[in-house]
Amino acid sequence: MAQRSLGLRGRVTLVTITVATLAVLVTGGVSLQLVHQSSIDEARAQLAAQATLLAKLPAATSISDLNQRVTVALGNTEVGTVSRDQQVSGAAAELLSARLVREGARGIRVSTTVRGPAGLTLVEMRAKRGGGSLVLALPRDSVDAQAQGSLLRIGLALLIGLAVAILAGALLSRWLARPLIGVARTAARIARGERGVPVETSGPAEVVAVADALASLDGALASSEARQREFLLSISHELRTPLTALRGYAEAISDGMVGPADLPGVGEVLIAETTRLDHFVADLLELARLEADDFTITPVEVNLADLLRASRDAWLGRAAGLDVQLVVETQEVALRSDPRRLRQIVDGLVENALRVSPAGSSIRIAGWSDATGIAIEVRDGGPGLTPEDAAQAFERGVLRERYRDSRPVGTGLGLSIAARLVGRLGGSIRAGTAVSGGAVFTVTLPARA
């Protein structure tokens, strides 16, 4: 079973805790070190001041008297002296090295740290009246013991700060995650098929942007699914009509209601209806292929003029039956493209033009080359397109639904297939109305596919 990843709220809390912990550790480490060093510096300053003061006492002052004075002032501090002839006395003087003893005999001011029986020890040495030096020594452990209380208070303050940071992180994560959780729930409802779901647009700007995008997606899905439903209903109706005719004639033949004299006429009806069904199925299959990832394009050198004339010749019979003239006006243009797909585009546009062109009109098929690439234009003699029609001409079934009761229409798939084929060939297609009337479809392709 796959482990569920940590949510935004948990991540924000985790990040906050991590950052706060790192901040406390770094701040605590630096602060404790600074406080510790400050305690040592303060102790050394006090030791130096006391050494300077005691060194001014009369030379006859005894070690015991000095010890008593130091104990009152500084606590656990050792006292010693160094005479002019380098004789040492007192516990503090015994910590001095030979070099320090020589410096003490000469009355040199010394401020240093030495290692003694009690560990690291602060040593301050000052010149005495009458010669020699006074030595004061304070173990670092005593300083650390005095600073322990301050260090504990700092540590407690840092822990309180960490707790506050964790609480703030939890509240922040809750504030950040609440609107995003709402958006996620809305997205889940949309994924389950609900439409028109209200989307709450609150919280940080990024979450609001996601919510707005989700609302736009919801509207686009609703619109797209509505068009698909209309299209499927239209296709279902068109498929049912020929199937009903086929079934009716089949039942009539089965019941012996069709005599020998009627069979040729019935056969023609059956052929027409099956052809109509085949056209529907072919269009649907072509759309499925176009939307598949493995749709193949095989580009070769193509003579555009020959291709347009071949398309015209293929439709001359049907055009003659409709009393519509087919005219080809083309330059001798060479391009590299897939001739089968290109011919399919032209045939689809010519078929669409024949459907809407009245008897006595003409259809113009043109091809030329310019700075933008290769252009193919099919102009019919029909009623033309409104600006709204032109904008939606390549959407499946839109024009069919709009004009099915007022003019001849096809399956509603032809122009959509043409547009997708053009896109697969790397070109573009647009629809419009000619100045003289009639719809104009212009395909623009690159010279090299």
Nearest by Cα to 352 from 342, 339, 365, 337: 365
The answer to whether 113 touches 91, Cβ cutoff 8 Å, is: no
Burial of 41 (0-12, 13-18, 19+ CB in 10 A): exposed
The answer to whether 167 touches 175, Cβ cutoff 8 Å, is: no
What is the per-residue pLDDT across 122-164, written as a single tens digit (0 to 9) for each? Answer: 888 898 887 888 888 888 888 777 777 777 887 788 788 878 8
Task: Tell me how far apart the alpha carbons of residues 319 and 325 are, in angstroms, rounded to a whole number.
Answer: 6
Q: How many Cβ atoms sit within 10 Å of the Cβ of residue 157?
A: 14
- Provide CATH code, domain 205-290: 1.10.287.130
Bridge partners (DSSP) of residue 367 are: 330, 376
Q: Where do the DSSP E strands lie in 300-402?
A: 300-303, 325-330, 334-337, 362-370, 373-379
Q: What topology does CATH give the domain 8-148?
A: Beta-Lactamase (3.30.450)
The pLDDT score that the predictor gives to residue 1 is 42
Q: Where are the domains of the chain?
A: 8-148, 205-290, 300-445
Bridge partners (DSSP) of residue 443 are: 376, 429
Task: Tell me how far apart the alpha carbons of residues 283 and 293 are, in angstroms, rounded to a whole number.
Answer: 18
CB proximity list for 429: less than 8 A, separation 6 or greater: 394, 418, 419, 422, 441, 442, 443, 444
What is the per-residue pLDDT across 362-375, written as a single tens digit (0 to 9) for each? Answer: 999 999 998 888 99
Task: Tell me how far apart the alpha carbons of residues 414 and 366 are, in angstroms, rounded to a whole number.
Answer: 20
What is the per-residue pLDDT across 95-129, written as a single tens digit (0 to 9) for each? Answer: 888 898 888 888 899 999 888 887 888 888 898 88
Mean pLDDT to the nearest integer, 21-47: 82
Rg over CA atoms, the chain: 50
What is the per-residue pLDDT across 287-319, written as a single tens digit (0 to 9) for each? Answer: 666 665 556 778 899 999 999 999 999 888 888
Q: What topology does CATH give the domain 300-445?
A: Heat Shock Protein 90 (3.30.565)
The pLDDT score that the predictor gives to residue 361 is 93
Task: Identify the DSSP state of 128.
Answer: P
The answer to whether 381 touches 438, Cβ cutoff 8 Å, is: yes
Fold equal for 205-290 and 300-445: no
Nearest by Cα to 432 from 375, 398, 367, 386: 386
% of the chain surpassing 90 pLDDT: 12
CB proximity list for 42: less than 8 A, separation 6 or greater: none
Main-chain phi, psi angles of 88, to 5 degrees: -110, 150
Nearest by Cα to 307 from 345, 348, 352, 339: 339
Average model confidence (pLDDT) across the chain:
80
- DSSP secondary structure string, 15-59? HHHHHHHHHHHHHHHHHHHHHHHHHHHHHHHHHHHHHHHHHTS-T
pLDDT bracket for residue 391 (50, 70, 90): confident
Bridge partners (DSSP) of residue 448 are: 336
The answer to whether 376 touches 442, Cβ cutoff 8 Å, is: yes
* Side chain identity at residue 445, one-letter code: L
* Side chain identity at residue 108, one-letter code: I
